[in-house]
Amino acid sequence: MRLIAFLFAFIIAVPAYAQGIQQTKGSFEDKFRQLDEVLPDPNVYRNASGAPGHRYWQQEADYKIVADLDEANRRLSAKGTVTYTNNSPDTLPWIWMQLDQNIYKKDSIAEMTRTFGAPGRGEAARMSLGQLRRMQDMADKPYGYDINAVTLSNGRALDYTIVGTMMRIDLATPLRPGQSVSFNIDWAFNIIEVDSLGGRSGYEHFPDDPREGGNDIFLFAQWFPRLVAYSDYEGWHNKEFLGSGEFTLEFGNYDVTMNVPNDHIISSTGVLANASSVLTGTQRQRLAQARGADAPMFIVTPDEAEANESSNPTGTKTWRYTAQNVRDFAWATSRKFAWDAQGHKQPGAKNETVLAMSFYPKEGGELWQKYSTAAVVHTMKVYSRFSFDYPYPTAQSVNGPVGGMEYPMITFNGPRTNLNEDGTRTYSLSEKVFLVGVVIHEIGHIYFPMTVNTDERQWTWMDEGINSFLDSVAGYEWDPNMPWTRSLPRDLIPYMTSQNQVPIMTQSDSVLNLGPNAYGKPSAAYHILRDTIIGRERFDFAMREYARRWKFKRPTPADFFRTMEEASGTDLDWFWRGWFYTTDHVDISLDTIHRLRMDTKNPDIDLSRRREERADKPEKVGVRLNREQGLPIWVLENPGVTDFYDENDQFTVTPKDTKSYESFLEGLDDWERRVFDRAVEEDKNYYVLNFSNKGGLVMPIILGLTFADGTSERMYIPAEIWRRNSRRVSKLLVFDKDKELASVEVDPELETADADVSNNSYPRKIIDSRVEAFKRPAPSSRTGRDLMAEVLVVEEEETESESEGSE
Amino acid sequence: MIRAFALLCAVLLLPLTGPVAAHQQKVTLSSVSHNERTGLLEVVHRVPLHDAEHALEARGVLAPDIINNLDNRRAVARYVASRFSVEHKGQPIALTLLGTEIEGGRLVVYQEATSPGSGAQLSIRSQILTDVWARQENRVNMGTGTSVETLVFSAGDAARLARLP
C-alpha cells in the first residue's frame, strides 16, 4: 500500500485518450497501449502482418499521349487515350481524374485560401516584388487546363464535371469488376513560369542567352489529366490538390509522343523509342558507349549545348518515349541541355544495366559534370541494399527551375554554379552539398514512393521520412565529413521541444513545419530504430521486407508499422504511438543514485559496519567548537562516573545478537542458505538509479557507466522499463565487489534526441550552454567555427575612426 | 474607405531582386535563454546555409560561399543580428554578436547580453529573411531544454511578449 501511495503522489494528471479504451480512474497513462484500437482492421486486402492481403487489388491506368509544345507561346496541347482497368470488386459508374494544373486557376481552393501576413498594430504591411509579380502574372494570363473534349473511342462525347482540381467523367455504362474502358481527352494549358508562380513544373526563362529572345527550360509534370486513385481503403481519393500534399496515383503503361522544336533535347520518364529519328549517329554511338562506361560520358557535350543555345529551330522533331508500370510520367525539354550518361550495373536484375543520366545547362557547369550522375549511381547502390534492385531502365537528373522533385525515372534538381565577374563559374561548398544531397534524395524517391506507391496526398511522411532517412545513410556513405543536415536525432531536438507542432500522423496539407515534421522527425525515428532499438541487421531486414512486399503496390501507415514489427520481431506500438501519434519529446533525467550494501545478519560484521559508518560521518559542529574552545568534558574530569557504557558503544555485539543470528541461519531452507551465503561471500555493490521522464516520450535508457577503476561500459535498458510507470522508474544495478561505480551518464552518445543533457549525468556535471561552449578557447569537434567578436570590434573601431576622420 | 486607403499607403515593397532558385527551407530557429551561472542572456540562431547563400545572392553578392568565405559569413551574421530584436521594459537589449559556426547544413549565429533575469517579460521580434521571402517562417524558442515556449513569426509580424524562463 505504501508503494501505491508513493506512485500516486508522483504521477502528474494527464487526460485519458478519447478512444474506445479509456482510463476512467486515476491518471495512469499507458504509453504501451497497443495500436490495434487506432489502426484499421486487417482484411483480405491488407493483412494483419502488414503484407498485401490475399485479395489485394489495385487499378491500372494506361496512357497513349501526343503532346505539342508551342515554345513561342509557352503552351502545351495534347490528345490522349486513357485505358482504365477496374481490378476492384466494385462497379464504378464514373471515373475521377486529377486536373493538377487547375491549382493555378484564379478560383482554385489553393488560390482562394492563400493567406497574407497581416501587419502588426501600427506597422506597415509588407509585400515583396515577387508577390506582386505573381499577382500580375495571375491577372494577365489564364492558367489551368482547357479540357476541349472527352470522348469514347467511337467519338461519342462523355459527360464530365470539373470540381476544382478534379474531374468526374460519367461512363456510358458502369464499369464492372475486371472490365476496362478507353476514352480520349483533348486538353491544353498555358505553361506557368516557375520563378513567378512557384510549383513543381513549368518553364524557366534565360533572357541573357545569346539567342535573340533568350531560351527556356521546360519541365513537364502534372501535365496531363491523371487518374485519381481508387483504393480498398478510401474508394476514390477525392482530396483536392492544395499544394503541399503531393500525389496519389495508379500504375500503368505509357506511350508518349512529344513534338518540340528540332533543336531541343528531351529527358523523359521511360525509354526513348525512336532514337534513330531524333539523335545523331554520334549521339547514338556515345549513348551505347556510356552503357559500359565507369564514369559519365557526354552524349551532348557542354560545347555542343552552348552552340545549341544560339540556334533557331527549323521545324519540329518528334520524340517518343515508352514506360512500363510507372505511376506517373514527366519530361523536360530545352535546347540548353548538355547530356551525360553512365551505365549502372545490377547483375541478375530485371534491368541489368541502368542508364544514369544528367541533363543540364551551362549554368550547371562543373558542379553538375562532377556530381550529378555520380550521385545518381551512388543512390542506386545504397538504396537497393535497403529495398530491391532499381526497378527501371533509366535514372535521370535534370537541372531546371525546380529545387527538387521526383517522378518515375526522372528528377528535377535545382542547384547551380555562380557566374563570376571574370566569366568563370564556381560554386560554394553548401551548393555542392545541396546538389549531391538533392540528387540522392530525388533519385531515392524513385524507390519511395514511385515504386513503393505510398499515398502522398494523405501522408507526406511515408515517402519523405524513409527517403530522408535513406538519403542521410547514403550521404554519410558518400562522405561522412560533408555538412549534411536535418535527418539525425540530435538535429531534431529544437523542433521536437518547440510548441506549435503537430503529430507526424497529420494529413499532408494540414502539417505545420513540413520539413522537420514529415522529413526530419520520421528520419530521426528510423535512425534510432536502426542504430539503437532494433539494431542494424534486423532493421535493415525489416525495411527490405517492407519495400519488397509493397513494391509496385500501395501501402498505408498500418502496413508499414505492422511490417516493421513483424519482420524485426519487435513490438514497436509504443514507438509508433509516441513518435508518430503525439508531439512529446525525449528527456530522460537521472535524478539520483543510491548505493546499497547487503547486510550479512552476522552481528560481528554488520554492527562493526554500522560503527564504521557512524565514524565516517562528520563530527558534530558544536562538539568540534567545544573542543577547539577547550571546554572541559565532565566524564573525563570525573573518572568515577564511568561505567559499562563508556567501554561498549551501541554497536557492541551481545549474546542476544549472536543468538538471533544463529536462529536466522537455522530458519533458512537449504536453498535460501546457499543463496544467502553466496551473496554474503560475494558482497557485491548494489546501486539504485532513479529516473524521471520529463519529455513524455518513453525511450530506452542508454547508460554510460564509469567505474572507480577507470573502466567503462554501455548498458541498454529497453523502453519497456516505463510500461507500468511512464513518469518515474528505478533500476537496480549490481556489480562485483571490486567494481565501484564512479559516475553514470544517460545517452552518452546523444543517440536518442534527449532534449536536456544537463540532467543526464550523476554526479551532476556543469554543462556548458551552447554559447558558453562556443566561447571556450578550444572548440570541440564542431566545424567551421568563427569567433567574430574581436574582429567585429576592430571593424567597428575602424569604422568609427573613419567617421571621425571624415568629420 | 479611408482605412483601406491608409492600408494601401502603408504597403512596403520588399526588395527582392532577380530569380531565386527554389527549394529553400525558409525556416529559421532561434533560442533565447537566461544562463543562471553567467547571468547572461544567450541567443542562438540556426539559419539554413542554402537559404542564407541564396539570400546573399538575391542581395547582389556574387558567388556567395558561407562555409569558406568569412566575409560572406559575417555579412549574414550581421544581417541576422539586425533582423532580430529583444526589448525589456520598452528598451532594446543590445546583443553582442559573438560569432558563428557551421553545424551540418546550418549556420549558427551566437549573441549574448546582460540578462534582465529569469522571469523578465521580453518583447521579441524575428524578421530574419522575411524581407527576402514572403513565406519565411521564424521560430523562436524561449528557453532551452525540455520546456520551452515557441513564438512563430512571419513577414511583417509585430513583436511578441514572452517570459524569459
- Contact call for residues A744 and A593 (beta carbons, < 8 A): yes
Q: Do A771 and B35 touch (CB under 8 A)?
A: yes
Burial of residue A525, with CB atoms counted within 10 A of its CB: 0-12 exposed, 13-18 middle, 19 or more buried: buried
> What's the pLDDT at B6?
36
Q: Give the count of beta carbons closer than 10 Å to the beta carbon of residue A391.
A: 23
Position A319: which residue type?
Answer: W
**At residue A790, does pLDDT exceed 80?**
no
Task: Give the model's confidence band at A806: pLDDT under 50 very low, under 70 low, under 90 confident, else very high.
Answer: very low
Q: Is B88 near chain A, with CB under 8 Å?
A: no
* pLDDT tens track for A67-103: 999 999 999 999 999 999 999 999 999 999 999 999 9
- Peptide bond connecting A503 to the previous residue in cis, omega within 30 degrees of 0: no
Name the residue facing A428 among B15, B22, B65 (closest C-beta). B65
> What's the pLDDT at B23?
53
* pLDDT tens track for A396-455: 999 999 989 999 999 999 999 988 888 999 988 888 999 999 999 999 999 999 999 999
Q: Which residues pair with B62 in a beta bridge?
A: none
**At residue B107, does pLDDT exceed 60?**
yes
Whole-number percent of chain A with pLDDT over 90: 81
Cell of A320: 517518343
Phi, psi of B152 (to 5 degrees): -120, 125
**At residue A119, does pLDDT exceed 80?**
no
B116: left (phi over 0), alpha (psi -120 to 50) or beta: alpha
Q: Is B114 near chain A, with CB under 8 Å?
A: no
Show which of residues 122-151 on chain B sit within 8 Å of chain A, judged by CB atoms: 130-134, 137, 139, 141, 144-150
CA dihedral A667, A672, A675, A677 (to 10 degrees): 20
> What's the pLDDT at B3?
39
**At residue A300, does pLDDT exceed 80?**
yes
DSSP assignment string, B80-93: HHHTEEEEETTEE-
Q: What is the rounded CA–CA span in Å between residue A661 and residue A652?
A: 14
Q: What is the rounded CA–CA span in Å between residue A353 and residue A350?
A: 9
**At residue B144, does pLDDT exceed 50?**
yes
DSSP assignment string, A554-623: ---HHHHHHHHHHHHT---HHHHHHHHH---BB-EEEEEEEEE----S-HHHHHHHHHHHHHHSPPPHHH
Contacts of B64 in chain A (CB under 8 A): 418, 428
**At residue A109, does pLDDT exceed 80?**
yes
**At residue A631, does pLDDT exceed 60?**
yes
Position A60: which residue type?
Answer: E
Q: Beta strands A230-231 and A316-326: pairing type?
A: unpaired
* pLDDT tens track for A4-36: 444 344 434 444 444 578 889 998 999 999 999
Residue A497 C-alpha, separation from nearest chain B C-alpha, in angstroms = 6
Please report, for residues A153, A194, A229, A669, the alpha-carbon distance to residue A261 in angstroms, rounded to integers and kept in the order given. Answer: 30, 21, 34, 97
Cell of B104: 551540418
> What's the pLDDT at A302?
97
Contacts of A782 in chain B (CB under 8 A): 101-103
> What's the pLDDT at A668?
96
> C-alpha angle with apex A689: A687 to A693, nearest 5 degrees?
170
Q: What is the rounded CA–CA span in Å between residue A347 and residue A187?
A: 43
Nearest Cα to Cα of residue A406 among A341, A468, A363, A352: A468
> What's the pLDDT at A396?
98
Q: What is the rounded CA–CA span in Å between residue A751 and residue A532?
A: 7
Q: Give the count of beta carbons closer than 10 Å to the beta carbon of residue B62.
A: 11
Of A544-553, A587-596, A778-787, minimum mean pLDDT range? A778-787
> What's the pLDDT at A124?
66
Task: Give the model's confidence band at B42: pLDDT under 50 very low, under 70 low, under 90 confident, else very high.
Answer: very high
Name the residue facing B105 among A119, A486, A789 (closest C-beta). A486
Nearest Cα to Cα of residue A204 among B91, B22, B118: B22
Shortest CA distance from A205: residue in chain B = B19
Q: Stretch A306-315: mean pLDDT, rounded? A: 94
Q: Do B66 and A756 touch (CB under 8 A)?
A: no
> What's the pLDDT at A672?
96
Q: Do B7 and A483 touch (CB under 8 A)?
A: no
Q: What is the rounded CA–CA span in Å between residue A330 and residue A325?
A: 14
> What's the pLDDT at A410?
98
Contacts of B97 in chain A (CB under 8 A): 788-789, 792
SS3 category, A653: coil
Contacts of B44 in chain A (CB under 8 A): 770-771
SS3 category, B104: coil
DSSP assignment string, A686-744: EEEEEEEESSB----EEEEEEETTS-EEEEEE-GGGGSS-SSEEEEEEEE-TT--EEEE
- Contact call for residues A704 and A744 (beta carbons, < 8 A): yes
Place of cell 542504430: A531
Q: Do A585 and B49 touch (CB under 8 A)?
A: no
Name the more confident of B154 and A177.
A177
Q: Give the count of beta carbons closer than 10 Å to the beta carbon of residue A363.
A: 18
Name the more confident of B54 and A687.
A687
Residue A438 C-alpha, separation from nearest chain B C-alpha, in angstroms = 10
Half-sphere exposure of A496 (CA within 13 A, CB side): 34
Q: Beta strands B12-14 and A126-128: pairing type?
A: parallel
* pLDDT tens track for A512-558: 988 899 999 999 999 999 999 999 999 999 999 999 999 999 999 99
Q: Is B22 near chain A, with CB under 8 Å?
A: yes
Q: How many residues are there in chain A?
A: 807
> What's the pLDDT at B7?
39
Q: Stretch A276-285: mean pLDDT, rounded? A: 98
What is the average pLDDT score of chain A? 92
> What's the pLDDT at A122?
60
> What's the pLDDT at A15?
44
Of A181-185, A346-350, A619-623, minimum mean pLDDT range? A619-623
Name the more confident of A131 and B113.
B113
Whole-number percent of chain A with pLDDT over 70: 92
Name the residue facing B63 among A123, A130, A426 (closest C-beta). A426
**At residue A123, does pLDDT exceed 90?**
no
Element housing A381 (H / E): helix A365-386
Nearest Cα to Cα of residue A196 among A146, A141, A261: A141
Name the more confident of B119 and A484.
B119
**At residue A494, does pLDDT exceed 60?**
yes
> What's the pLDDT at A755?
96
- Peptide bond connecting B48 to the previous residue in cis, omega within 30 degrees of 0: no
DSSP assignment string, A268-328: ESSEES-HHHHS-HHHHHHHHHHHT-SS-EEEE-HHHHHHHHT---SSEEEEEEEEEEES-
What is the average pLDDT score of chain B? 84
Q: Stretch B69-83: mean pLDDT, rounded? A: 92
Nearest Cα to Cα of residue A718 among A693, A697, A701: A701
**At residue A759, does pLDDT exceed 60?**
yes
> What's the pLDDT at A802?
45
**At residue A773, does pLDDT exceed 90?**
no
Name the more confident of A778 and A401.
A401
SS3 category, A228: coil
First to last CA, chain B: 45
CA pseudo-torsion sign A749, A752, A756, A760? negative
Element housing A345 (H / E): strand A338-345
Name the residue facing A430 among B105, B139, B158 (closest C-beta). B105
Place of cell 576622420: A805
Q: Is B110 near chain A, with CB under 8 Å?
A: yes
**At residue A481, does pLDDT exceed 90?**
no
Burial of residue A659, with CB atoms counted within 10 A of its CB: 0-12 exposed, 13-18 middle, 19 or more buried: exposed
Q: Give the count of beta carbons closer than 10 Å to the beta carbon of residue A5.
A: 8
Which residues neighbour A623 within 8 Å (Cβ) at sequence distance 6 or greater? none
**At residue A784, does pLDDT exceed 80?**
no
Contacts of B40 in chain A (CB under 8 A): 771
Burial of residue A764, with CB atoms counted within 10 A of its CB: 0-12 exposed, 13-18 middle, 19 or more buried: exposed
* pLDDT tens track for A460-475: 999 999 999 999 999 9
